[in-house]
Chain A
Amino acid sequence: MSFTETLRGSAGKLRGNAVKPPPDGSRPQPGWRRYWPMYAAVSPFFLLFAVFGVFPVAFSIYLSFMSWDGIGDMKSIGWENYEYLVTDPDFWQSIANTLIIWVLATVPMVFLALVIAYALHTTVRFKAFYRVAYFVPNVTSIVAMTIVLGSVFSDSSGLLNSMLRVINAGEVGWLSDPWAMKVSVAAITIWRWLGYNTIICLAGLQAISSDVYEAARVDGASNRQTFFRITIPMLRPVILFVVITSTIGGLQLFTEPQVMFPDDSGNVGGPGGEATTIVLYLYQQAFIFNRFGYGAAIGWALFILIAAFSIINWRLVAGRSEDATGTGKGKKKGKGRSRAR
């Protein structure tokens, strides 16, 4: 049976109206003749997704219960990978590092993106120039620019410390101090993604109908009131998008810390592993130390983390926007939930 036929069969079943079998060759099968091009058109994605998506994901569950170096035999070890995972201090450190870098990057970035977008929205001149200037980091190579910024952050001879010395502010161990390392990685992330998020926020601002502002002006609302009562609430979906994409991106951070702290000995993530993110740790365990089973288990931990954070984000921002409509729907929902508990 071909792949498209499989798809057709299952899709028909899902809808509850399975395509009829061909009537004894007397007439061409109408459904098949009509629909096969559409299934053929969508099948490349599903075929690739089956081979490089569904199968690996399913296989990674199996693999996470194995001990395997990628060459020898797989050995079933039950929950051992997961048991080791929860007691592995390096794993927990990588989670803490990732979350700290994520907060250090996302909070200032979302704030700055909103401010810059608002400034751009109210500015008439040079808008095209600003948009390109802010956006260009996003399309340039992360590897190349991390190398460049890494040398700017260099402890002994970097530009940043040279400037700090000029104003007698002392030196910061941008690539050696546990906190400064995270700040450096966060700074590169902000540099790279600020423009993107600004453009999204700007599009959100431009999508708000001028009628709403007109009405507010007629009712005598001040600029401040308009901004906090209209602009921000109406931007909630856009802010949600920005926060969720930043969270998912932040939890998957890999290239910046990997490039910034090159180390042939496999001790990735800089001195003391203080900039080892979860994906970097996964890479190190699986592809440097050849612990494929353990790498798969880390992958699942990452998945759970991303899912949890997406749900929390969704609840926080979506929940509040319900309150903002003044229907009290959000409150009622909260009460219902606490009663159920």
Chain B
Amino acid sequence: MSKDTVKKRAYFMDKLIRYMLVIFSLISIITTILIVFTLFGESFVFFKEVSIKEFLTGTLWSPVIKPQKFGVLPLLVGSLLIAIISGIISIPIGLGSAIYLSEYSSDKLRKILKPILEILAGIPSIVYGFFALTFITPLFRRIIPNLEIFNALSAGIAVGIMTIPMVASLSEDAMRAVPNAMREGAYGLGSTTFEVSTKVVIPAALSGIVSSFILAISRAIGETMIVAIAAGANPSLNFNPLKTIQTMTGFMVNVSLGDIPHGSIEYRTLFAVGALLFIMTFIMNIIAKVVINRYREEY
């Protein structure tokens, strides 16, 4: 083989690989397009039979059992209830952990505590669901006798525990990005660590902290197995966390467990709820990104 052919082959390979890699990276774009197309395609057919108004404002949800009702509000309220309860747990505890790890903890202790929080983030949601149903609920039933076996409270708390590491690590990243000179300035004026944290570091890192809150809530709305196990399957329009509820994701799991014929109205209901879920989490993720970019202070 002459020198020239070796060279030519090398260049040919180079080009070939380049095109191949472009195709590989297109897959991620195709994934997005397919998600949008399948969700909205099936929903489009769904909304020919059920009006968007009925779907978004109806207060009865009974898509499988006759008489069929397609008001998504009970599911939406269920998801929001879970998001609120989880936020009450994850936001203060996550932020507190972030403050401790970033402002108070020694390097040595942080190196032990951070991996432990990472383990908490790596536990599958099915395990949290089991924990909520078989540990948190029985524990609370001793204190609150009228707590139903499946309830929003335990499920929301478990979702909150699962999202603590997310709030903690994103907020901590934002706080550690605050330059040390600012802290030292405040310490130089005689501030305590509490004052430095609340008057200097948190205001400076606020965009990152707020975006971590939004992401945690978005994650809570999309969380599935915990609510499918511990929150129950009763789509009723109520705000009482002690009662059995159903969330959008819980409904999707429930319907998928049964055998739904492709192309039936139940099948399309699944996609309509999926589309709503997708839109909600997508908007929240975008808001989180806008917050972190627009309100970030440059040092």
Check if A and B associate: no
- Which residues of chain A have a CB within 8 Å of any CB of chain B? none
- Which residues of chain B have a CB within 8 Å of any CB of chain A? none
